Amino acid sequence: MPDRVVVITGASGGIGAALAETLARRGDSLALIARREHALREVAARCGDRTHAIVADVTLRDEVRRAVDDTLDRFGRIDVWVNNVGQGISRAPSQLTDDDIDDMMRLNVKSALYGMQEVLPHFLSRRTGHVINVSSMLGRVPYVADRSAYSGAKHFLNALTATFRAEVQQTCPDIQFSLVSPGVVRTEFGLNARHGGPDSRPMPDSQSAEEVAAVVADLVESRRPDVYTRKGAHERVVGYYASLAGDP
C-alpha cells in the first residue's frame, strides 16, 4: 500500500483515534486535529513519529485553513481528509431552540464544509484527492425523535457530500468525496450529546470504534462514494422508505 498523508479531524477519541491507530499501523503519515490537546497528543504518541498533532477548532474556518497549511508545511501534500467531528443532541423536535439548530449545524455541517472547501484548492492543484465525511445512520433514517436536529444536520451533510462530488468531478474525476454511515458506536458520543443523553457503550446492536475505523481504512483504499459500517444497513434504509411510499 502506498504511503499516504491522511488528515483526521476529531482525532482525540472515539472513531477518530481508532482510525488514526489503524492507519498508523499500516504506515500512513497522519495529521491529527482536535481541540483537546492532552488527549490528542496521547493519541499522536501512540501513532508514532510519522504523526503530527494540530490543536484546532474545526468549527472555525480560519483554524481549518491553518490546519491545512500546517499539514502541508509538515508533509508537503495531503492525500485524504477525513471529516469526523460531530455531536448529538437529546431534545424532541417540538422543543428545539435556535441555539440547538445552530450548534448542530456548526458541529456537524460547517466543520465538514470548511474542511472540504479549504483542502479543495490543494486537491485541484494536484488533480487528485479524497474527502471522507463521517455521517450516521440517522442521516439516512430519522427514526429517533430526540435526535431530530442531529439527524437533520447529517441529512444535510449527506446532500453536501453528494453535490460536492457532482460539482468537482465534472472537471476532476480523480477527486473523490465519500460518505460513511455508522450506526450506534460504543464511544462517549451519547453522554456528550447536547442536553445529555444515554450512554452509547452498552446499547444493543452497537459497534466498537475499531470496527468502524476498519471500514473507513478500507474506504481509503477503495474510494467508494458511499459505505455503511454494518451488514444489512442499506437494506434497512431501503425498507424504511419503501414502507412510507404510497401508490403513485
pLDDT digits (tens, 9 = 90+) for 11-28: 999 999 999 999 999 999
pLDDT digits (tens, 9 = 90+) for 70-80: 999 999 999 99
Q: Quote the cell numbers at residue 163.
A: 453535490
pLDDT of residue 247: 60
Q: Quote the cell numbers at residue 50.
A: 510519522
pLDDT of residue 31: 98
User: Which residue from 105, 118, 14, 128 is spatially nearest to 67, judged by alpha carbons?
Assistant: 118
Asked about 143 being catalytic, the answer comes back as no
3-state secondary structure of 227: strand
What gap in Å lies between CA 116 and CA 130, rounded to an integer? 10
- Which residue ranges in the chain fall short of pLDDT 70? 1-2, 246-248
pLDDT of residue 192: 87
CATH for the stretch 5-244: 3.40.50.720
pLDDT of residue 200: 80
Amino acid at 94: S
pLDDT of residue 204: 78
Task: Report the DSSP beta bridge partners of residue 54.
Answer: 33
Q: Which residue among the candidates 143, 150, 228, 241 is catalytic per the annotation?
A: 150
pLDDT of residue 182: 96
